[in-house]
Amino acid sequence: MTAVTQTVLESVQQFRLPDVGEGLEEATIVSWRVGVGDRVTHNQVLVEIETAKSLVELPSPFDGVVTELLAAEGETVKVGTPIISVGPEAAPPASQPEPTPSVLVGYGPAGDGGRRRRRRRPTASPAHPGLDGRVRAKPPVRKLARDLGVDLATVPATGPHGTITREDVERAAAPAPVEAPALVGAPEPDVTRIPASGVRKATAAAMVKSAFTAPHVTEFLTVDVTRSVKLVEELRAAPAYAGSKVTMLLLAARALIAAAKEFPDVNASWDDTAGEIVRHERVNLGIAAATPRGLVVPSVKDAGSLTLPQLAAAITELVQTAREGRAAPRDLTGGTITLTNIGVFGVDAGTPILNPGEAAILCLGQVRRTPWEHKGRIALRWTTQLALSFDHRLVDGELGSRVLARVGAILERPKWELMQL
């Protein structure tokens, strides 16, 4: 390729991280494709970066020799920050960089470490800043407020143009330290106040934490489980299962374990502090159990290593001890994925909330007789609805869908599928 006049350098120039995606603030340097001393030609790929939207290769705007790499691999860099210096062929390596020639799209002001000043600092402004005195919030934020029972008129706005942001609503919804006067006022004859303690209090805290940190997505799948119903009957008669409770829950547990082993990324946690995804090598299957003291979730450790009769025995034992309030602390912690069964209450489906720290929870609905297409005709079949909630920070729709589909497929043809495991 012939050198092109305007890209050939007379002095050292810096290339600043551009905004490659309409309003991005920063990007991470994934890998450098050139090193100091390398000759580069215009449009030669210099570096691969990862933005919030995609992996992108940045081509060189210059012809010259790399004099310095200004950002390390793995480093997250603000848009507008110089990331590489390129000089003329024969340049002394340390010559002073020239000021960048023109204002380029997305480049930030100089003398500020390249920090863009697009976004104003969120300063809380009163809730009625609009010219027309109306509360300003986007429709999804309004919906969130409705869902959380927050009155937007009372929420301080920190967004641009005095708009109320999602965070503002969540802040307003977060359990504030309770103010005593409101509670010790006049007697309330129509209510009974029950001190929240123990399991109830822990459950409440765990649910709030989970619901407001992990962005939940729930997917549903209705499956024909007639074959599973038959298998459950057969297993009940088998000596290996004597003493164990054999129900649809057992097969669902087995199916979930299988899916978690097949798609290990769903058997994982989000570590916010470390900024890491923690993938668990073992499947510790949590079973949500209603006990007289409230909901507890004991877990079967390394459930993936158990045979079906062993799993049946383990679940039976675990749920029994939990019901009796004898579960050991070890039983109640360390779960990596959870199964909950609301079918026993005669309910079809729900949107389960994740056990904090886990990436997925499967909810089993009631098994009921349903007119269903079977072999080209309508037949009365046993069906159930499965619901899988997952933490959208680390589980994408595709993965979640595959896991749910897999569980469904196993329950539809349990013998065939479980035989392959």
Partner 1 sequence: MEPVQLLSPDGTFTPDPAWPLEVTPQLCRDFYRRMVLARRFDDEALALQRQGELGLWLQSRGQEAAQVGSILALRDTDYVFPSYREQAAALCRGLTPAELLVQWRGNALSGWDPARYRFHIYTLVLAAQLPHATGYAMGVQRDGTDEIVAVYFGDGASSEGEANEAFNWAAAAGVPLLFFCQNNHWAISTPTHIQMRAPLHQRARGFGLDAHVVDGNDVLAVHAVTRAVAEQIRAGGGPALIEAVTYRMAGHSTSDDPTRYRTASELDSWQARDPIARLESLMVAQGWIDEELRAQIARESDALAEETRRVCREFGPVDMTGMFSAVLAQQSPLLAEERRRHEALVVSYAD
| Residues that bind partner 1 in the complex, under the rule CB under 8 A | 1-2, 4-7, 15-22, 42-43, 53-61, 99-112, 117-118, 131, 161
Shortest distance, position 333 Cβ to partner 1, whole Å: 35
For residues 208 and 194, give the distance between their C-alpha atoms in angstroms, rounded to a whole number. 19
Q: Which of 174, 211, 219 is nearest to 349 (CA)?
A: 219
46 sits in which H/E element: strand 45-50
- Is 45 or 347 the residue whose CB approaches partner 1 more closely? 45
Closest CA to 9 of 79, 68, 84, 65: 65
- Chain centre to alpha carbon of residue 175: 23
Choose between 2 and 420: whose C-beta lies nearer to partner 1: 2
Q: Which is nearer to partner 1, 7 or 310 (CB)?
A: 7
In whole angstroms, how close is the CB of 351 to partner 1 at the nearest point?
Answer: 24
What's the min distance (Å) between Cβ of 43 and partner 1? Answer: 5
Nearer to partner 1, 110 or 240 (CB): 110
Q: Which of 42, 216, 280, 392 is catalytic?
A: 392
Among 238, 230, 261, 406, which Cα is nearest to 309's?
238
**Minimum CB distance to partner 1 smaller for 26 or for 348:** 26
- Please state the length of the chain: 421
- How far apart are CB 13 and partner 1 at their closest, in Å? 12
Q: Report angle CA 30, 32, 34 to the nearest 5 degrees.
A: 170
Q: From residue 44, give the alpha-carbon distance in Å to each of 19, 83, 188, 250.
A: 19, 15, 75, 58
Is 216 labeled as catalytic in the residue annotation?
no
Burial of 218 (0-12, 13-18, 19+ CB in 10 A): middle
Asked if residues 36 and 69 have their Cβ atoms less than 8 Å apart, the reply is yes
CB of 154 to partner 1, least distance (A): 23
What amino acid positions are annotated as catalytic residues? 392
